[in-house]
């Protein structure tokens, strides 16, 4: 008798492709004939330098990263970037523009000025204006042309919001700095529209521990020697990402994920699958006659993090309990929002979403 599948809807650290985990399992004791694990090899060894090189090249190919951009695999998570972007890019500037669209951009807004005297200007506030049910349109962002950069989060994991049309600023405006943690590699974007893209690995890239930073080369000229090397983008670039010991194993897994994405048809194919998964799930919510609720405006709904609730907290708890018993795991909503949240990143197969929709319909028949 076969064991029923387990589907992991965690928002992060999140599900990884089975094919990637099988390769990692096979190589855990002996990587590529070396006789030892990636976890125990020198980060300066030829074997690891080869892993790092191919991870970067595969990421460049997947995203179409221009040669005028540098790629770094850092540590500290996306949260560390809230301060690093200011320390490195705001030297000589009076202000930074900040767009608040949900939980993580709100935290970024509060943190960015803590190690700098630069003013963090609120360019848009989706909480104040829309109660986090809609996104401030780019046309309404109050941007100071003299600001160092404009910071925003493209997908808000907690509130279930996502810019469906990727924001782009007119020529002559400050560079865009984007926290892309929870949607990177889920669809095609034009990297050249951004000054900096950064992303924690633990959602769509690999395990927790690595942070990808993609930075336009000319912006490195802003990095001051007064910024300690460990927080200085230019110092990391000058040392080919080897200023300190990188997160070797997460980078190794990330490289396997990049190869897996290529084998699946690349980002165009992933975008189509992710769109279909989100369509199925939102249709189940919208066609439930009000049993399931999602108050996000349709054009701002996230394709990565689908939030919903029943309107009854006890029923929400029961949903999470029963779904877990059915192998639909980690569906509990964020602590400040409640309800349920299904994170359907690249590695979540379509069959997992279909199983969740089937359970939702069954649960409604029993308790609706």
Q: What is the pLDDT of residue 115?
A: 87
- Nearest one of 128, 129, 109 to 119, comparing CA atoms: 109
Q: Do the bridges between strand 155-156 and strand 161-162 make them parallel or antiparallel, or are there none, so unpaired?
A: antiparallel
Has residue 219 got a pLDDT over 90? yes
Indicate if the pLDDT at residue 17 is higher than 80.
Answer: yes
Indicate the burial class of 304 (C-beta count within 10 angstroms; 0-12, 13-18, 19 or more).
buried
Rounded to an integer, the average pLDDT of 206-222 is 97
| 22-263 has CATH 3.40.50.1370 classification | no
Q: pLDDT per residue over 258-308, tens digit each?
A: 999 999 999 999 999 999 999 999 999 999 999 999 999 999 999 999 999
The average pLDDT across 178-199 equals 98
Mean pLDDT across the chain: 96
Which residue ranges make up each domain of the chain? Answer: 22-263, 266-367
Handedness of CA 285, 286, 287, 291 (dihedral sign): positive
What was the pLDDT predicted at 108? 95
Report pLDDT digits (tens) over 85-122: 999 999 999 999 999 999 999 999 999 999 889 999 99
One fold for both 22-263 and 266-367?
Answer: no
Q: Predicted confidence band at 1 (pLDDT cuts at 50, 70, 90)?
A: low
Burial of 114 from C-beta contacts in 10 A (0-12 / 13-18 / 19+): exposed
What pLDDT, on a 0 to 100 scale, did the predictor assign at position 4?
81
Considering only the top CATH level, what class is 266-367? alpha beta
Q: Give the Cα-Cα-Cα angle 253, 258, 259 (nearest 5 degrees).
A: 95
Task: State pLDDT tens for residues 299-325.
Answer: 999 999 999 999 999 999 999 999 999
Using CA atoms of 144, 150, 156, 158 in order, give the dihedral in degrees to the nearest 10.
-70
Instruction: Give the residue numbers marked as catalytic.
Output: 104, 179, 203
pLDDT of residue 299: 97
Q: What pLDDT does 3 receive?
A: 77
Instruction: List CB contacts of 265: < 8 A, sequence separation 6 or more.
Output: none
Question: What pLDDT does 294 receive?
Answer: 98
Neighbouring C-beta atoms of residue 249, cutoff 10 Å: 20
**pLDDT reported for residue 2:** 66
């Amino acid at each position: 008798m076969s064991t029923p599948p387990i589907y992991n809807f965690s928002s992060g650290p999140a599900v990884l492709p089975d094919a990637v985990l099988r390769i990692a399992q096979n190589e855990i004791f002996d990587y590529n004939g070396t006789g030892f694990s990636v976890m125990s090899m020198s980060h300066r060894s030829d074997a690891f330098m080869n892993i790092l090189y191919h991870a970067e090249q595969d990421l460049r190919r997947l995203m179409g990263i221009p040669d005028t951009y540098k790629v770094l695999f850092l540590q500290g998570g996306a949260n560390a970037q809230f301060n690093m972007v200011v320390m490195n890019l705001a030297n000589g500037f009076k202000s930074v523009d900040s767009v608040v669209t949900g939980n993580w951009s709100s935290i970024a807004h509060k943190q960015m000025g803590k190690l700098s005297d630069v003013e963090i200007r609120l360019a848009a506030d989706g909480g104040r204006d829309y109660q986090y049910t809609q996104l401030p349109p780019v046309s309404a962002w109050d941007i100071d042309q003299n600001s160092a950069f404009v910071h925003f989060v493209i997908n808000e994991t907690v509130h279930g919001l996502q810019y469906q049309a990727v924001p782009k600023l007119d020529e002559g405006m400050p560079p865009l700095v984007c926290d892309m943690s929870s949607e990177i590699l889920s669809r095609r974007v034009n990297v050249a529209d951004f000054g900096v893209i950064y992303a924690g690995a633990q959602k769509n890239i690999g395990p927790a521990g690595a942070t990808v930073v993609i930075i336009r080369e000319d912006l490195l000229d802003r990095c001051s020697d007064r910024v300690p090397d460990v927080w200085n983008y230019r110092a990391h670039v000058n040392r080919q990402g080897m200023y300190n010991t990188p997160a070797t194993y997460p980078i190794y897994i990330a490289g396997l994920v990049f190869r897996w994405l290529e084998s699946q048809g690349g980002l165009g194919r992933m975008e189509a699958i992710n769109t279909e998964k989100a369509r199925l799930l939102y249709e189940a919510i919208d066609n439930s006659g009000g049993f399931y609720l999602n108050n996000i405006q349709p054009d701002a709904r996230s394709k990565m993090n689908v939030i919903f609730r029943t309107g009854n907290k006890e029923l929400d708890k029961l949903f999470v309990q029963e779904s877990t018993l059915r192998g639909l795991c980690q569906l509990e909503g964020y602590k400040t929002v409640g309800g349920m949240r299904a994170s359907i990143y690249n590695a979540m197969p379509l069959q997992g979403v279909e199983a969740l929709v089937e359970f939702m319909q069954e649960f409604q028949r029993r308790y609706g």
